[in-house]
Amino acid sequence: MNPKRVKLACYITNMSMSVVCCLSALLFTTFHRLYNISFASLGLLVFVNYITQLAVDLICTFCSKHFNIEKTVKTIPFITVIGFLIYGLSPFFLPQNPYIGFMIGTIIFSSSAGLNEVLVSPVIAALPSDTKEKDMSFLHATYGLGVIGFVLIGTLFLYVFKQENWMYLPLICSVVPLVALILFSGTHLPPMNNTEEDTKEHKNGFSKGILLCALTLFFCGAAECTMTQWSSSFVEIGLGVSKITGDLLGMFLFAVMLTFGRMLYSKIGGNIFNVMTIGLIGAVACYLMATLTNNSIIAVIASVFTGLSVSMLWPGTLIIIGENYPKATVSVYALMAVAGDMGGAIIPYAVGILIHQLQVTNNNLFFTGSIEQNSMRGGLLFATIFPLLGLITILVLRKHLKIANHEKNA
């Protein structure tokens, strides 16, 4: 086993997942203009992306003991490459209805994303290292780095080579997982616990502490993904700028702050409970500031700095698992992925429904802006409850683990 090479392969594999999650969103208007695909159908691609990942997470939660973990991990980049190729080549092989290829490609590369969420984190946790916390933090930072790079490169590519040549973008992006595939070849992964055994506490991986971690990750996933999904629209509507400017000021800067927080922790991190507690308090403050202020510049700054506040919530929960449950099975990590994905899929969707309802009912709530601005602010104000609930669960979890560790050492 070559730990450095395996670690690098995991980092690059995780980085390629940023393309999986951002590819369709970046090409929405392109597909609508070139192929006359409705926005409802385009939105379905994003929905299928999340549902496929969630389905894979659930399968891994209950069936991971039947997997050959090493072979499955090494297959993740290959599946990603195949998905990108089908997605990008669809206009050539299905010129009459490329949407079918988009859907097939989405299902395939979303499957790799689901496997990545479940299996790559326990690989990093199992590698011999004196800096496991920082390694886990950097793993999640690579996703943010991927988002930053993809948004910049994708936007520049479409501007220089024109939207008609979009299909070469996913083909170029397939080089990233291909590099990971090459790095994985000839290596051996560290042994990982894939059976439910050992102490009574870890017998089935569903102790009170594990369930509290899952609940915390649900709320943290909701806090992170709600602002991720709505930041661009929030900035665009709040400042009245173009979509490209909104994407750069919203999604791009949010990703920059998210990545900065994770990179910072990977360098000087420690005391993860304190970091998560401060982050959740900061997220509540940023949500409130973004929605309650009448100053659009302050609102944008608050939405962007939400990225820094939530940066260590998701990886922090996995760090807590690694520290307090070193014999946790792969199914435990799969459960965490399910919890995070559910929070990241259900809550932003619920916020979207609320925004729509506020618009159609012309409900200004107590805000003084336009109905569109007020509806957006009302939806995000509702979302403030989730980092607040996350704060409550992380405090309960901290108390539970403190008592459990005291009893264990007594």
pLDDT for the residue 194: 59
Q: Which residue has the higher pLDDT, 369 or 215?
A: 215
- The answer to whether residue 192 sits within a structural domain is no
Residues 138 and 239 in one domain: no
Q: Judge whether residue 217 has pLDDT over 90.
A: yes
Please tell me whether residues 259 and 296 are part of one structural domain: yes
Could you tell me if 93 and 215 lie in one domain? no
Question: Does 357 share its domain with 241?
Answer: yes
Decide: pTM greater than 0.95: no
Shared domain for 179 and 224, answered yes or no, is no
pLDDT band at 199 (very low <50, low <70, confident <90, very high): very low
Do 155 and 226 lie in a common domain? Answer: no
Segment 402-406 shows an average pLDDT of 79
Q: For residue 219, is it within any domain?
A: yes
pLDDT score, position 345: 78
With bands split at pLDDT 50, 70 and 90, how would you rate the model's confidence at 105? very high
Domain count, the chain: 2
- Identify the pLDDT of residue 238: 65
Give residue 351's pLDDT.
Answer: 85
- In angstroms, what CA-CA distances link 395 with 19, 76, 118, 283, 325? 34, 35, 25, 15, 18
Task: Give the model's pLDDT for residue 359.
Answer: 81
> Which domain range does residue 324 map to?
202-410
Same domain, 333 and 207: yes
Does the residue 194 lie in any domain?
A: no
The average pLDDT across 389-396 equals 96
Q: What is the pLDDT of residue 282?
A: 97
Percent of the residues in the chain that have a pLDDT greater than 90, as a whole number? 39
In the predicted model, what is the mean pLDDT of the chain? 86
Q: Looking at the structure, do residues 164 and 276 belong to the same domain, yes or no?
A: no
Residue 362 lies in a domain: yes
Q: Which of 14-23, 53-62, 120-129, 238-247 has the lowest mean pLDDT?
A: 238-247
pLDDT of residue 201: 47
- Mean pLDDT for 134-159 is 87
Q: What is the CATH number of the domain that holds 52?
A: 1.20.1250.20
In a domain, 193, yes or no: no
Count the Cβ atoms, other than its own, within 10 Å of residue 352. 16
Instruction: Give the domain-ending residue among 144, 162, 187.
Output: 187
- Comparing 143-157, 198-212, 337-351, the range with the smallest average pLDDT is 198-212
Residue 380 and residue 235 in contact, taking contact as beta carbons nearer than 8 Å = no
Q: Are residues 19 and 137 in the same domain?
A: yes
**In this prediction, what percent of the chain has a pLDDT beyond 70?**
91
Query: Given this model, what pLDDT does residue 64 score?
Result: 66
Residues 378-402: what's their mean pLDDT?
Answer: 94
Q: Do the domain assignments include residue 197?
A: no
198: pLDDT confidence band, cut at 50, 70 and 90?
very low
Confidence band of 251 (pLDDT split at 50, 70, 90): confident
**Of 143, 163, 187, which residue sits at a domain end?**
187
pLDDT tops 50 at residue 344:
yes
Question: Is the predicted pLDDT of residue 202 greater than 60, yes or no?
Answer: no
Residue 197 has pLDDT above 60, yes or no: no
> What confidence tier does 203 reach under pLDDT thresholds 50, 70, 90?
very low
Residue 128 maps to a domain: yes
In this prediction, residue 62 carries a pLDDT of 76
- Residues 176 and 261 grouped into a single domain: no
**For the segment 287-334, what is each residue's pLDDT rounded down to a tens digit?**
999 889 888 788 888 989 999 999 999 999 989 998 888 877 778 888
Q: Where a domain ends, among 187, 211, 234?
A: 187
Mean pLDDT confidence for 276-295: 93
Q: Is 72 part of a structural domain of the chain?
A: yes
Residues 180 and 207 in one domain: no
Q: How confident is the model at residue 261 (pLDDT cuts 50, 70, 90)?
A: very high
Quote the pLDDT of residue 396: 95
User: Above 90 in pLDDT, residue 79?
Assistant: yes
User: Looking at the structure, do residues 154 and 239 belong to the same domain, yes or no?
Assistant: no
